Structure 1
């Protein structure tokens, strides 16, 4: 019906639509798909609607993998149709990361519960065959036994970040056990669990539990197994029903900063809750929804914390529940800081549309005006609620950071990183480094040539094949006295933005690297966490963020990753790179003396290219790959970058010195020589760009 209506509508507009460029149509598809995902994922998928309009639109839609990277399994369809739909959808998404929802209650299936369970199990089996592409998986079914084997297959899923496992069947509680038959992927950082016994993933930063049945031992297992757990949400909190050891030591939850508790109908005097076993010294945000006694839940767990309590928990910790009986209840919000801001802005636009509509129809009487006014009042109330929430502490993620956010964090762009004028000559001195190693200069070029004809560079994951090659070459260039230790998927615990703000910044970074001596390298190979790095304090810390397209747009994300990790490590400077393997942007961040803000510099895009001769043979253009490798070799190995405030230009890449830094305030220098040096540096950079047929360096 929808397809027929749209095709009829399209026929009337066919001349106008036929004239639209494919790029505009594709952008319309992308916006429509995003809107469908965020607002109405249970309706007919927008990519399906777009594909049904005409052959041309179908070809455009089915050739764009981004449209098909979010899948809601249609368990209400016939078995064969459901499985075909899932298989076709996964195929159309190409190699992009997948977000999948499997919920047998989203729509009422036309079959028995047994048949639905069987189909759901087959659907999850089909989905988990693409385990290496799953980024988010949300499963809600009758029992864990239906998908146990499939979930175990995900234990090595490299890209799975978000996992939700909610079941209605036994054990009718969420518990954590030290067994190894139910491991979760170590890549998971955000987990929601209901009626499930499982082993806690070591890299969790966010956990939502429904009816957790935890005793003292289970609490120990959870918090010792999740040393980076920063955010905890509990639905249906229940008292401990297992024996409590008479002699027990407190369980310290150092990383826990945000706690939300949802519980109604519990008012048991003398009841003990698992949270009372904890000592939470760094808790900064507490939200409670329900009539549970704060004192009986937490006791002295947070006595040493500087806690902000939301709305219905405004009384001091430890007061009687009766004194809070009139507090306004507040629902737990599932929106992150970025999502909340987007929802707030969307509501503001909606409200402004009311004003525009009123101005256009002042002369016409509207019989529905009272209803509209009532709706406007509701919108105003929601804006007020969201505004107050935005004013409170936020949990920010790297991926949502913008240039405006950096300014709010007092992270200011203060200069450029530019190539030295004689970079070509300097690079020639590095080609002999590591010539007897596996990753010699010539082998780097051979490997890049192999990748050019082997791996399509269309996703963030595929870009890592090139990034790995450059890091391996950089390692071979360091010499015997230094060792490069490369870590992938570093989890950054929630880091407080500043002493005057309770908001936190967290998530994970794609690569980190440190250059150090042999003894420290051996330790880091066994324990590479950020806390170990903080204790050992190697030469420096280097961050690499991988992105497939539009690198300059992702600079704020990379800078925020450098800022959060550097602040946690208590280092005064952090170096980094933003890359898709071919294009590279180098970054340098230096903290203020009190760690209240920072300044950063960035390079233009440095690119290496390949060309194909008339016979179809590929060739890597020199010397750009070796130049990038040379920068990488020295970039993590330096202890400090000292700026000459008089000359305004100071070498970074000692002894290679391929990059220099130019400050924005250079023209206010006292020295005339500094001004001439600055102009000379720009002329030299422009000359390199003009005379090299492979250069892709643009002044920012």
Structure 2
């Protein structure tokens, strides 16, 4: 069966841009010969068809773009003027090590103590494959569980899954919009407010102070989507500065986004990838997760999530 043809009207904005560029490139490769005036005018030529196609594509390309987060790519970042400003530098490991050691003692009397986190990650490492999103989410959940146990009362961390972000304009001067779902929204609130949030999860709106995490199979490929999510959340929160993370569960990178003062784009910084590691048990064939004095300790990630 031949592949189903798609109408121009069914193409997304980014697909239209790509199609238009390709058709224009094809059109420039043709040389049109001048015919003597005595020769009869030919019917529509292939170049005429190309010209008509270009005109139709240009007409559609001028329509506003409504882009879901999941369709984001580098072209979308360029279109919305979302620009990388380089590496997000974490504090030196000597300082981080001290902070991690301190964090390991927090919540020691809670269900999700530091030791409980290591035991659960050890269980996951020996029971589930790391090759799919399901196991990734279990790991992310574990690190969030641990972070909630480190927050002293009367504050609590409330984690909202798959929060819907309504449409927002990335650039104030353009009618294009972006929208979609954020995988994890973590907010630190007073315990009294936390009870209300558990029964009625908060939406992405002004005055909400949150930390946003996007789940991915491939960090690099998923980065444009995570950036659009953060830009949209910042717009709805009315904030010029926002923080978040992108993770496979095992690999983590942390992101800061600053909206431009003129509302015409954003700048972002991404940290180096942090990977928490398992070790081979010396007494069995199982993998284990134990405290270390290295940046591969998952306690570092949990501590960062705690502070947001």
Shorter-chain TM-score range: 0.7 to 0.9
1:626-679 alpha-carbon deviations (Å, 9 max, x no partner): 0010001001xxxxxxxxxxxxxxxxxxxxxxxxxxxxxxxxxxxxxxxxxxxx
Q: Displaced runs of 4+ in structure 1, greater than 4 A?
A: 348-352
Kept after mapping to 1: 8 A contact 2:114/2:299: yes
Q: CA deviation at 1:565?
A: 1.4
Distance (Å, rounded) in 2 between the aligned partners of 1:411 and 1:350: 30
Q: Could you say which residue in structure 1 is the equivalent of 2:147?
A: 474
- Which structure would you say has the larger Rg? 1
Distance (Å, rounded) in 2 between the aligned partners of 1:343 and 1:394: 15
Distance (Å, rounded) in 2 between the aligned partners of 1:376 and 1:347: 11
Distance (Å, rounded) in 2 between the aligned partners of 1:596 and 1:339: 23
Q: CA deviation at 1:525?
A: 2.1
Distance (Å, rounded) in 2 between the aligned partners of 1:571 and 1:527: 23
Q: Could you say which residue in structure 1 is the equivalent of 2:289?
A: 620
1:328-363 alpha-carbon deviations (Å, 9 max, x no partner): xxx9922222333343345345546x64xx79xxxx
**Corresponding residue to 1:389 among 56, 60, 68:** 60
1:242-274 alpha-carbon deviations (Å, 9 max, x no partner): xxxxxxxxxxxxxxxxxxxxxxxxxxxxxxxxx
* 1:340 is the counterpart of 2:11: no
Distance 1:334 1:404, change over 3 A: closer
**Corresponding residue to 1:552 among 214, 220, 233:** 220
User: Where do 1:301-380 residues align within 5 Å?
Assistant: 333-348=9-24, 350-351=26-27, 355=30, 374-380=45-51
Give SS of 2:169's match.
strand
User: Where do 1:204-223 residues align within 5 Å?
Assistant: none
Distance (Å, rounded) in 2 between the aligned partners of 1:460 and 1:342: 30
User: Where do 1:286-685 residues align within 5 Å?
Assistant: 333-348=9-24, 350-351=26-27, 355=30, 374-421=45-92, 422=94, 423-530=96-203, 533-534=205-206, 537-538=207-208, 540-549=209-218, 551-613=219-281, 615-620=284-289, 622-623=291-292, 624-635=297-308
Distance 1:572 1:378, change over 3 A: same
Residue ranges of structure 1 left out of the alignment (5+ in a row)? 1-35, 43-330, 360-369, 636-700
Number of aligned positions between the proteins? 291
Q: CA deviation at 1:527?
A: 2.7
Q: CA deviation at 1:571?
A: 2.0
Distance (Å, rounded) in 2 between the aligned partners of 1:621 and 1:605: 20
Q: Could you say which residue in structure 2 is the equivalent of 1:179?
A: none
Kept after mapping to 1: 8 A contact 2:252/2:275: yes
TM-score, normalised via structure 1 length:
0.39
Kept after mapping to 1: 8 A contact 2:80/2:265: yes
Q: CA deviation at 1:445?
A: 0.7
* 1:40 is the counterpart of 2:7: no
Residue ranges of structure 2 left out of the alignment (5+ in a row)? 33-41
Q: CA deviation at 1:400?
A: 2.9
Kept after mapping to 2: 8 A contact 1:608/1:621: no
Distance (Å, rounded) in 2 between the aligned partners of 1:348 and 1:604: 39
Distance (Å, rounded) in 2 between the aligned partners of 1:465 and 1:341: 39
Kept after mapping to 2: 8 A contact 1:576/1:586: yes
Which stretch has the larger CA shift, 517-526 or 343-352? 343-352
Give SS of 1:419's match.
coil
User: Where do 1:10-159 residues align within 5 Å?
Assistant: 40=3
Distance (Å, rounded) in 1 between the aligned partners of 2:22 and 2:81: 27
Kept after mapping to 1: 8 A contact 2:253/2:272: yes
Give SS of 1:501's match.
coil
Distance (Å, rounded) in 2 between the aligned partners of 1:477 and 1:434: 5
Distance (Å, rounded) in 2 between the aligned partners of 1:526 and 1:572: 29
Distance (Å, rounded) in 2 between the aligned partners of 1:41 and 1:454: 42
Kept after mapping to 2: 8 A contact 1:567/1:595: no
Distance (Å, rounded) in 2 between the aligned partners of 1:393 and 1:383: 18
Kept after mapping to 2: 8 A contact 1:530/1:569: no
Higher relative contact order (CA 8 A, sep 6+): 2
Q: CA deviation at 1:468?
A: 0.6
